[in-house]
Structures are given as C-alpha cells and as structure tokens.
C-alpha cells in the first residue's frame, strides 16, 4: 500500500498502545473523566467562572465537544 493512500494513513496513526486492552481501557476511562470534568465546569457559578477567567460561552463551547475530543491527547 502506498503512503498516500487513506488506509495507510489511518492505520499508521494508530499507536500500538491504543490497540491493547489496557490502552483501550485507559482511553475509555479518560473519556469518562472528560465528561465528568465538563459537567462540573458547566455547573460552576458565574462568579467561579469569572475567577477562572472563563465565560459561559467558553463553558458551552467546551461542554458540547464530543467525548473523544481530548485537548490533552493531540
């Protein structure tokens, strides 16, 4: 398969760790944690958000992100 083909690129981007059960389990647990953190952030008061330098718009933008969209895993 040539490097320019889409299938190669997709397979090449997958790490071996993601293919193991423990890697998959860690990823699922991280997604669960992201959801919990996003719900907690959405539950903060306007004053608490202001202390963090965030607005409701910032929180809404973060809240609607898909669970797999992990800003720390880029």
Mean pLDDT of 15-43: 86
Mean pLDDT of 7-25: 63
Is the CB of residue 35 less than 8 Å from the CB of residue 64?
no
Is the per-residue pLDDT at 57 higher than 90? yes
| Alpha carbons 38 and 42: distance in angstroms, whole number | 6
What's the pLDDT score for residue 54? 95
């Amino acid at each position: 398969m040539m490097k320019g083909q889409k299938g190669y690129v997709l397979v090449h981007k997958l790490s071996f760790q993601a293919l193991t059960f423990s890697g998959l389990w860690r990823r699922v647990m991280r997604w669960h944690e992201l959801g919990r953190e996003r719900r907690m952030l959405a539950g903060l008061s306007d004053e608490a958000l202001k202390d963090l330098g965030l607005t409701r718009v910032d929180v809404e933008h973060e809240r609607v992100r898909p669970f797999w969209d992990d800003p720390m895993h880029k």
